[in-house]
Amino acid sequence: MTAWTDDAQPALTAMYRMQWEEAQQCHVLLFPEGMIKLNGPAAEILQRCDGKTSVAALVADLERTFGESDLHADVLEFLEQAHGRHWIR
């Protein structure tokens, strides 16, 4: 389990590539063995995992973009799950 800090800068691992899949009408993570369909919130978070944006900035951007507050815990929970699945580092 990784304890994501606000200054951490998550990024997709090298074996994954995210893109919009027209046939699926959703964002997907592509990897050598297949494809993972992403729901809207997962895609929004992963799009911001560029290795340069801090967790704090990522959360602030999501809250600003969607007019929400208190997303920090939900984003951290998703980052933990994505890290556990080796999608991000």
What value does the mean pLDDT take over residues 81-85? Answer: 97
Residue 64 lies in a domain: yes
58 in a structural domain: yes
Residue 29 lies in a domain: yes
> In this structure, what token pair is assigned to residue 64?
């600003």
Q: What is the DSSP string of 4-20?
A: --TT---BB-TT-EEEE
- Could you list the residue range(s) of the whole structural domain that residue 59 is in? 17-84
Identify whether 27 is part of a domain: yes
Give the model confidence (pLDDT) of 16-64 as tens digits.
Answer: 999 999 999 999 999 999 999 999 999 999 999 999 999 999 999 999 9
Across residues 64-72, what is the average pLDDT? Answer: 96
In this prediction, residue 3 carries a pLDDT of: 81
| CA separation for the pair 71, 48 (Å, rounded) | 14
56-58-64-67 Cα dihedral, nearest 10 degrees: -100
Q: Domain containing 69 — which CATH number?
A: 1.10.10.1150
DSSP character at residue 32: T
Q: Is residue 12 part of a domain?
A: no
How many domains does the chain divide into?
1
In a domain, 7, yes or no: no
Residue 5 lies in a domain: no
Q: Does any domain span residue 4?
A: no
Tell me how long the chain is.
Answer: 89
| pLDDT score of 2 | 64
| Average pLDDT for 83-88 | 97
Q: So what's the pLDDT on residue 86?
A: 96
Q: Which amino acid is at 52?
A: K
